[in-house]
Amino acid sequence: MIADSPAGAIDAGAKIILGIAVEDVTYREKPTRIVGIVVQWDPVPLTGLQVDKLGVKVRAVIDYTGHDAEVTAMDARKIPELNLTVPRRGRCGHLKPKIL
């Protein structure tokens, strides 16, 4: 069941934060690793408030954003050394052809 995955992560000590969007990641080199994320509360852009984003130190990031894998795609763009490939998707989740 898909609910087992988040439950297992919580049982292992993970923290799940709802109502935020990951805006950026911070990383270190040698070895290349993600050490933090920059988040914004979902209501902030909707209300037009001027609120600073929050930096959160992390030991691991689990991308549970669905088909678009937004956080993983951000990592792939920002840190090419990770050699991540994320399929690009169009409307309704259909794969877009890669432009070579």
Query: What span, in angstroms and rounded, lies between the C-alpha atoms of 22 and 36?
Result: 10
**Residue 6, H or E segment:** helix 4-11
Instruction: Write phi, then psi, for 75 (nearest 5 degrees).
Output: -60, -45
What does the pLDDT read at residue 15? 82
Mean pLDDT of 17-28: 88
Tens of pLDDT along 77-97? 888 888 887 776 655 554 444
Non-local (6+) Cβ contacts of 29 within 8 A are 81
Query: What amino acid occupies position 61?
Result: V
The winner for highest mean pLDDT among 38-42, 63-67, 90-94 is 38-42
Query: What b/e readout covers 1-29, taking b as 16+ CB neighbours within 10 angstroms?
Result: eeeeeeeeeeeeeeeeeeeeebeebeeee
For residue 34, what are the β-bridge partners?
Answer: 27
Q: Tell me the domain boundaries of the chain.
A: 4-91
Q: Which pTM was predicted?
A: 0.69
Average pLDDT over all residues of the chain: 80
Residue with the bigger pLDDT between 64 and 55: it is 55
